[in-house]
């Protein structure tokens, strides 16, 4: 198994644990306050592993406009994801989030002129049908949290394409540090009207979310530099297992049998995407799913 795939598995496990902690905070705080504290703490892993890169070179960029665009879509998408996690069930958030590879694939074909094999299109369509079984629009009532995660899917697609293009050319301190700086300004300003002083327990949760999210982000950047994205992207489906386990164990969320069938379909299609990929692939700009946070 390629190193990038293993790194991606670890990254998504970290993200899933961070998502569970986000849900623990509930809707008692604004998403901007949650994002401010957690994103601020997420810089710690990057500071500990910068490996010779200097923070004073933060703004020495080769593609400044693309870096800023990536920050804007990532920060906005993160707010959408956090709102969704604190307002709708775990499985719903992940199921809709799993539409991101479809958006990424379409953008990759249109923007990066990527070639995608027919069987991969079929597997993505199967994944989409599995998502439909989970959320069942028209049968179940959709809430604002569902709209938020739909928006994050599009934003994640844009973030992915931009990051995939700039990741091999920009410093890691730039990719991580600039986003954290902008996130602090954006979320710090918007949280002020609804600011609630966090308790020591809540602050500890924020630290945990930040450390897990920051570590996951660094692992995904490392995966993007080592392995083609059509191998890395489907690994996000491993979060289905975490969604069911955490949802049931900590939040009393038990998907019905139709939703379980949908989740199994999504998982099977995602794994098939990984297992049927040929390993001898020319390294070039390819698709890559990057979570809309760090």
Query: Is residue 288 a contact partner of residue 100, using CB atoms and an 8 Å limit?
Result: no
Answer yes or no: is pLDDT of 174 > 80. no
184-213 pLDDT tens trace? 898 999 999 988 888 899 999 999 988 888
Answer yes or no: is pLDDT of 34 > 50. yes
Written in H, E and C, the secondary structure of the chain is CCHHHHHHHHHHHHHHHHHHHHHHHHHHCCHHHHHHHHHHHCHHHHHHCCCCCCHHHCCCCCCHHHHHHHHHHHHHHHHHHHHHHCCCCHHHHHHHHCCHHHHHHHHHHHHCCCCCCHHHHHHHHHHHHHHHHHHCECCECCCHHHHHHHHHHHHHHHHHHHHHHHCCCCCHHHHHHHHHHHHHHHHHHHHHHHCCCCCHHHHHHHHHHHHHHHHHHHHHHHHHHHCCHHHHHHHHHHHHHHHHHHHHHHHCCCCCHHHHHHHHHHHHHHHHHHHCCCCCCCCCCCCCCCCCCC
Question: What is the pLDDT confidence band of residue 291, given thresholds at 50, 70 and 90?
Answer: very low
pLDDT recorded at residue 214: 80
120-140 pLDDT tens trace? 788 888 888 888 888 776 666
Question: What does pLDDT average to over the chain?
Answer: 79
pLDDT recorded at residue 288: 29
Query: Is residue 285 a contact partner of residue 165, using CB atoms and an 8 Å limit?
Result: yes
Segments making up each domain of the chain, as ranges: 3-275
């Amino acid at each position: 198994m390629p190193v990038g795939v293993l790194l991606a598995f670890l990254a998504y496990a970290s993200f899933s644990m961070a998502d569970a902690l986000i849900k623990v905070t509930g809707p008692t705080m604004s998403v901007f306050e949650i994002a401010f504290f957690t994103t601020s703490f997420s810089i710690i892993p990057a500071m500990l592993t910068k490996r010779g890169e200097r923070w004073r070179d933060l703004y020495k960029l080769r593609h400044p406009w693309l870096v800023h665009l990536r920050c804007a879509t990532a920060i906005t998408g993160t707010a959408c994801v956090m709102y969704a996690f604190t307002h709708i069930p775990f499985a719903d958030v992940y199921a809709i989030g799993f539409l991101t590879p479809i958006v990424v694939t379409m953008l990759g074909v249109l923007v990066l002129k990527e070639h995608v094999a027919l069987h991969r299109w079929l597997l993505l369509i199967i994944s989409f049908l599995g998502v439909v079984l989970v959320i069942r629009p028209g049968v179940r009532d959709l809430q604002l949290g569902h709209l938020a995660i739909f928006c994050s899917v599009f934003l994640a697609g844009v973030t992915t394409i931009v990051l995939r293009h700039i990741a091999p050319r920009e410093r890691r301190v730039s990719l991580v540090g600039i986003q954290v700086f902008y996130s602090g300004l954006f979320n710090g300003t918007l949280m002020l009207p609804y600011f609630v002083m966090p308790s020591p327990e809540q602050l500890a949760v924020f630290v945990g979310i930040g450390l897990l999210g920051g570590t996951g982000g660094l692992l995904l950047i490392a995966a993007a530099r080592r392995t083609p994205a059509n191998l890395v992207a489907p690994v996000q489906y491993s979060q289905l297992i975490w969604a069911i386990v955490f949802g049931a164990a900590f939040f009393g969320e038990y998907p019905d049998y139709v939703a379980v069938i949908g989740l199994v379909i999504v998982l099977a299609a995602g794994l098939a995407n990984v297992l049927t990929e040929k390993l001898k692939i020319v390294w070039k700009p390819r698709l890559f799913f990057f979570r809309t946070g760090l």
